[in-house]
Structure 1
Amino acid sequence: MTLATADAEGLPDVRTLLLHDADERGFHFASHATSAKGHQLAARPYAALGFYWPALGRQVRVRGPVVRCTPAESHADLHARSTGALAAALTGAQSAVVESVAALHRAADAAWERAQAEPDAEAPTWTRYVVEPAEAEFFQGDARRRHIRLRYRRTDDGTWTRELLWP
């Protein structure tokens, strides 16, 4: 999925990352709280998600507030993943400048060894987030350009309204 955020000045940013879960709370993903996206979400806790299936002509867009999960949820998220994911979480400071590819490789190799030796190692800045959908739009493309767009908006009482939009 793609995640769009904005920094403290309102400048947009977008990146592709893994969807960890989708449930009644929303759409879950994880990253370091000290990464660019972590800083952006701390400054402006709202995001947009994009899902795209070109072969099907389908797209889903979601917007809403982002909340940090508990430290226990973040820990469980990281340790439910592979050794490689733990090693990556233990390597360097995400989004920081690294002096060389060799330095990156040294840090990654050391983190891999640590992840294998300590499968329950802590990555203190690893944070699980949830995008709580306030709005979702579903798009189905049509060869004759009669695309269907359905927008759902959450109301103040927690129910949803549905609107059919012009393409």
Structure 2
Amino acid sequence: MQGRDQDGDAVDGGSAGSAAADRELLDRIRAAPVLAGPLPHFDPDTAPAAPGPLFADWLDRALADGVPEPQIVTLSTAAADGTPSARVLLLRGLDSADCAFVFAGDSGSGKGQDLAARPVAALTWYWPAHGRQIRMAGPVDVLGEEATRRDYLGRSPAARIAGFTGRTSAPLDGPGEYEREHRAAEALVAAEPGRVPATHTVYRLRAREAEFFQADPARWHLRLRYTRDGDGWTRTLLWP
């Protein structure tokens, strides 16, 4: 069965139905509240000379105000051929004095392979309750064995078991294979509680650029960029 789209072109019934559903979904998205507030005040003129302390201040405020999971961050990387990818993970450490951020992953995963080929990345936080977005970008290095052990062994038993379950990013045959691998991982962690997966890796991103975006319900948004300049930083207000 064919119909006509809004431009008069013939479309089959399935395509027409899908297009109508997409338009209805888009209408609902447009009707959903955005930046309803109240949102925190931010005065760029009083921002510190370096971005690390400002990040720590915003994170502290988010935690104090009960913003859901402010430690969750999006890591963006690029493969050797330039193909970008992004995923969400946990912030594992912070050096606010040097504006450096620690995260962990499997060296054999997509992000591990990307970072081995191109050791540079971006981190993005978005806290809707505060209307705040933070972006950090810079080179990434691998921390040593002690940092790796401390990170892994400091995790919950469930998280350590998950780290030994299967191979990150490898194809999975189905729930049965997952269950078998999980049981084997449980036994391994119980027998060797101090063991760390050989591919578990702790990374550190040292920001070269940092951006802080404060939204405003009236759309008077503020955007402040820091750029590392030798041992210091330069600050620039940007059009949002």
Q: CA deviation at 1:48?
A: 0.5
Q: 2:176 aligns with which of 80, 102, 108?
A: 102
Letter in 2 for 1:21: G
Greater helix fraction, Structure 1 or Structure 2: 2
How high is the TM-score relative to the length of structure 1? 0.96
Which segments of 5 or more consecutive residues in structure 1 lack a partner in the other structure? none
Q: 1:136 aligns with which of 210, 217, 233?
A: 210
Letter in 2 for 1:55: A
Letter in 1 for 2:83: L
Alpha-carbon distance in structure 2 between the residues aligned to 1:34 and 1:59? 30
Alignment match, 1:74: 148
Greater mean alpha carbon deviation, residues 24-33 or residues 73-82: 24-33
Is 1:147 matched up with 2:221? yes
Alignment match, 2:119: 45
Alignment match, 1:5: 77
- Aligned residue pairs: how many? 166
Letter in 2 for 1:11: T
Kept in 1: contact 2:152–2:196 (CA 8 A):
no
Alpha-carbon distance in structure 2 between the residues aligned to 1:143 and 1:85? 39
Greater mean alpha carbon deviation, residues 91-100 or residues 109-118: 109-118
Alignment match, 1:92: 166
Greater mean alpha carbon deviation, residues 102-111 or residues 114-123: 114-123
Which segments of 5 or more consecutive residues in structure 2 lack a partner in the other structure? 1-72
Alpha-carbon distance in structure 2 between the residues aligned to 1:120 and 1:8? 35
Q: CA deviation at 1:144?
A: 1.6
Query: SS of the counterpart of 2:167?
Result: coil
Kept in 1: contact 2:148–2:201 (CA 8 A):
yes
Alignment of 1:48-63 (within 5 A): 48-63=122-137
Is 1:112 matched up with 2:186? yes
How high is the TM-score relative to the length of structure 2? 0.67
Q: CA deviation at 1:116?
A: 2.5
Q: CA deviation at 1:143?
A: 1.4
Alignment match, 2:138: 64
Alpha-carbon distance in structure 2 between the residues aligned to 1:166 and 1:37? 32
Q: Which has the higher contact order (CA 8 A, sep 6+)?
A: 1
Question: Alpha carbon RMSD of aligned pairs, Å?
Answer: 1.0
Alignment match, 1:22: 94
Letter in 2 for 1:148: L
Alpha-carbon distance in structure 1 between the residues aligned to 2:196 and 2:136? 31
- Identity over the aligned pairs, expressed in percent? 46
**Quick check: which has more Rg, 1 or 2?**
2
Letter in 2 for 1:19: L
